Structure 1
Amino acid sequence: MQRYILIIFLLTGFAFSAFAQNPVSPTNPASPLKKSKADSLQEKKDSLKSKPFVPKIGGIKIYHPDSTHSPSKAWHRSVFVPGWGQVYNHQYWKVPVIYTGLTLLVVMYRFNQSAYTEDLAIAKYRERGTSPNPGDKYYALYQAYTGYNDQSINDAVRGYARYRDLSVLLFAAAWGIQTIDAYIDAKFKHSYSMDTDFSVKVVPTLINQQVNVQSFSGAFIPGLKVTFTLR
């Protein structure tokens, strides 16, 4: 009898202990699985995926390769006629720049050659100790140079000769530069994608000479300025 009472007592205690425990359930307010309102809002915010920022790109001109554009044809044309290769490359704005620079160099050559010839004639008169007769070609110039000594006239002759030769070299260099420019532009169009971050600019300019090489022609001489821009 006592054994049965003990068994009933143990079963009753076990039942009470089972009811005393909180079941793990979302519907139970005390359950650890019960989500609060703040947790739900946080999960909702975290679930929203932010879109990556992509800047809008506009106004950039892209040059795509053109296999039909011939670099050989471009530089061959510029070799024979300055600016013809630039026209072939549709770089029309470069044509007046090229001809302006070449024209200035021709003017520079003719001026220095004329001055060199005149001063050389006066220097030869001084060297021989004679003078031109009235009515001769260099008579007026000889009279105008009476205030200059022989050394000054000889320096002027050498200066004009130097600038004359320099103008020839610059003319040849300008011709070569415009040929190379035509080839490079054509090569980019033929083989590469090139945007407006790269450009080549050729403009006429004045070069300031050093004091020890200046002469009657002035302190500045014309030249060409080539600018490569990479932004």
Structure 2
Amino acid sequence: MGFLLFCFSLSSVSFAQEIEVEATEQPRSSKPEPDYSLLPKNPKKATILSAILPGAGQVYNGKSWKVPLIYGGLITDIYFINFNNRRYQIFKQALSDFDDELPTDFPSLNRDGLVRNVNYWRKNRDLCYLLLVGIYALNLIDANVDAHLSGFDVSDDIALKFEPHYERFSSNNNSVGLSVKLNF
């Protein structure tokens, strides 16, 4: 018991000691850190990034919320390309079987019906390919335009107002019109 009391008293003494350390402050520079988010972005770099990886230009421009929209559009379009191509291949095979006088999966359709279905599904597939190119091009255009407009001031101090205007030129000649006011 005495040994435990002795150990306890030594441990409390060792924790009660203070260690004084002088803190040396680093001299702060008088220049504040620049805000790089206000600098205009490079449109060429944004376009090249989006061309290599769709959505990378939007991330470079600080508009990451657009990336799911881009990939959602691309994935949805690829799904419909696959969907239309499968239907096209089914009806193309059925037309080939009909021409070879083999039993088809569509006994109620004659040759004209099979040809119409082949053309319909091929046309839809090809339109989806064009839509895919359009979504990709829109991705590039958005990255480029957003980079061009990144240095544009969009604060609340800028306002464009359309107001009705009434003016009296003389006692008999009154004028009514529309006034455009631009405030900076």
Find 2:68's aligned residue among 76, 89, 96.
96
Q: Deviations over 1:65-112 (max 9, x none)?
A: 624x21111110001111100111111111101101000110011111
TM-score normalised by length of structure 1: 0.49
Equivalent-residue separation in structure 1 for 2:56 and 2:131 (angstroms): 20
Equivalent-residue separation in structure 2 for 1:157 and 1:106 (angstroms): 19
Find 1:110's aligned residue among 79, 82, 88.
82
1:150 corresponding residue in structure 2: 111
Equivalent-residue separation in structure 2 for 1:195 and 1:102 (angstroms): 34
Q: Where has structure 1 moved over 3 Å in runs of 4 or more?
A: 194-197
Identity across the alignment (%):
28
Deviation at 1:124, TM superposition (A): 1.1
Find 2:39's aligned residue among 55, 60, 66.
66
Q: Deviations over 1:103-157 (max 9, x none)?
A: 01100111111111111010011122223xxxxxxxxxx34x1122221111110
Change (3 A) 1:118 1:194: same
- Determine if contact 1:65/1:193 at 8 Å carries over to the other structure: no
Count of residues in correspondence between the two structures: 121
Task: Name the larger-Rg structure.
Answer: 1
User: Match of 2:64, SS?
Assistant: coil
TM-score normalised by length of structure 2: 0.61
Structure 2: runs of 5+ lacking an equivalent: 1-36, 159-184
- Determine if contact 1:188/1:194 at 8 Å carries over to the other structure: no
2:133 corresponding residue in structure 1: 172
User: Match of 1:194, SS?
Assistant: coil
**Equivalent residues in 2 for 1:134-149, closer than 5 Å:** 142-143=104-105, 145-149=106-110
**What RMSD over aligned residues (CA atoms) do the two structures have, in Å?**
2.0
2:122 corresponding residue in structure 1: 161
Structure 1: runs of 5+ lacking an equivalent: 1-63, 132-141, 198-231
Q: What amino acid maps onto 2:39 in structure 1?
A: D
